[in-house]
Amino acid sequence: MKDKLKLIQEKALAAFQEAKEIKDVDDLKVKFLGKKGELTAILKEMGKLSAEERPIIGQMANEVRQDIEKMLEESKKRLEAAELAHRLEKEKIDVTMPGKERPEGHKHPMSIVIDEICDIFKGMGYEVADGPEIEKDYYNFEALNIPANHPAKDEQDTFYINGDILLRTQTSPVQVRTMEKGKLPIRMVCPGAVYRSDEVDATHSPVFHQLEGMVIDKNVTMGDLKGALAVFAKELFGENTKVRFRPHHFPFTEPSAEMDVTCFACGGEGCRVCKGEGYIELLGCGMVHPKVLKMSGIDPEEYSGFAFGMGLERVAMQRYGITDLRLLFENDAKFLKQF
């Protein structure tokens, strides 16, 4: 019987080594260990053995069984590993194929610029205000110290609805509307569309966008104006940006200034973007004219403030290297998807 067991063990070893698929292993399991299997058949004969032989053969049979089970387990692992490896190999794909297209939406470059600037000022404690685009002459001009027949009125080539109502030529009327609400202190910015009767070309559009800002509080100085705008410029164009203030004239501020920033393209060395100047004109600003404060019901003896305004198309065009303003209004998907 010992020989029989040995023979089964050897046969099993050979069979398992030859197994090619998991199914073969399962078949072998039945063949050797199943109810009608070879080992079982032998064990059934155990009864015929003598009392002395029985434990010895029993132990041997057990060892053979364990051995076969081990072989079974190993073969199965081996074959599973091989099968997995085969499957992985078989499943390879061309990963250089393009991905499945997802619908891809984009913000308009103007909105990107507007949102970014508003976020900077929000971080500095400014509210974002809004105002009407069809505006009264009073808010657009008179309350900003631009009386009837003032040359500035002509310079801005206004679209009129009637003698009294016009399309705002600047976002500055929102300053007046904010002041009139009488809630002080004021820290606000207001982005929006403005209108001037310029024929459409690469650098002009009858509709364009401005952002206006205003701070009114006790003891606001021109130094504060410079400080706030210098911080803004660094946030918008980078930490190394320097600013320069030049005297200028706006009817609603006094003193008035224009602020230049070092060219973001060359850092102030002079290049094509800044036409060799090293600086780019960014915005107009100044201390709110005492007359303007007074007209809006704020006591200029007690309060002072500053205001600033900038054209946003130019900021967007310079930032993205856009050379034709008309592209911003054409809405060609090939253009819009670049931002």
Partner 1 sequence: MDVPMSWMKEYAPVTADIKDFIEDITLSGSKVEGYTTVAGEIKNVVTGYIKEIVKHPDADKLVICTIDAGQGKDLTIVTGAPNVKVGDYVPVALDNSVIAGGKEIHTGELRGVVSEGMLCSVEELGFDRHDFPEAPEYGIYIFPEPVELGKDIVEVLDLKDEVVEYEITSNRPDCFSVLGIAREAAATYDIPFHYPEITVKEEAEGKAEDYVKVTIENAELCPRYVARVVKNVKIGPSPRWMRKRLRMAGVRPINNIVDITNYVMIEMGQPMHAFSIETIKDSHIIVRNAKEGETITTLDGVERNLDPSMLVIADPEKAVAIAGVMGGENSMIVEGSQAVLFESANFDGPNVRITAKKVGLRTDASSKFEKGLDPNLALEAVNRAVQLVELLGAGEVVPGVVDEYPNKREPWELSYNPAWINKFLGTDISEEEMQKIFEKIELKVDPVNHIVTVPTFRPDLEAQADLAEEIARFYGYNKIEATLASGTPTVGKKTYEQTITSLVKDTVIADGLCEAMTYSFESPKVFDKLLIPADSDLRKAIVISNPLGEDFSIMRTVSFNGILNSLATNYNRRNESAGLFEVAKVYIPKELPLKELPHEIPTLTMGMYGNMDFYDLKGIMEHLMNVLGMGKVAEYVTEKSLPWMHPGRTASVIVNGDNIGYLGEVHPAVLKNYGIGTRAYLAVLDMEKVVANANREVVYQALPKYPAITRDIAMLVKEDVTVKEIADIIKKNGGAYLEEVKLFDVYQGAQIEAGYKSVAYSIAFRSAEKTLADTDIADAMDAILKGLAEELDAQLRDK
Q: Does 291 bind partner 1 (CB under 8 A)?
A: yes
Residue 60 identity: M
Q: Which of 74, 85, 76 is nearest to 26 (CA)?
A: 76
Nearer to partner 1, 24 or 277 (CB): 277
Binding track, positions 296-325, relative to partner 1; x by CB under 8 A: --------x---------------------
Nearer to partner 1, 96 or 162 (CB): 162
Which listed range, 38-46, 77-85, 91-99, 287-295, lies at the site for partner 1 (CB under 8 A)? 287-295
Binding track, positions 157-196, relative to partner 1; x by CB under 8 A: --xxxx--x-x-----------------x-x-----x-x-
Cis, bond preceding 255 (omega within 30 deg of 0): yes
Binding-site member from 19, 25, 257, 315 for partner 1 (CB under 8 A): 257
- Phi first, then psi, for residue 90 (nearest 5°) are -70, -30
Nearer to partner 1, 8 or 215 (CB): 215
Nearer to partner 1, 16 or 232 (CB): 232
Q: By CB under 8 A, how many residues form the interface with partner 1?
A: 86
Q: Does 94 bind partner 1 (CB under 8 A)?
A: no
Nearer to partner 1, 215 or 263 (CB): 215
Q: Which of 189, 185, 255 is nearest to 223 (CA)?
A: 255
The strand order across the sheet containing 304-311 reads 127-128, 186-195, 207-217, 304-311, 279-288, 253-262, 243-250
Binding track, positions 130-159, relative to partner 1; x by CB under 8 A: x-xxxxx------------xxxx-xx---x
Q: In 3-state terms, what secondary structure has residue 251?
A: coil
Separation between Cα atoms, residue 159 and residue 273, nearest integer Å? 32
Q: Which of 201, 314, 305, 202 is nearest to 260 (CA)?
A: 314
Separation between Cα atoms, residue 284 and residue 259, nearest integer Å? 6
| Residues 307/172, Cβ–Cβ less than 8 Å | yes
Q: Does 328 bind partner 1 (CB under 8 A)?
A: yes
CB of 128 to partner 1, least distance (A): 5
Nearer to partner 1, 78 or 136 (CB): 136
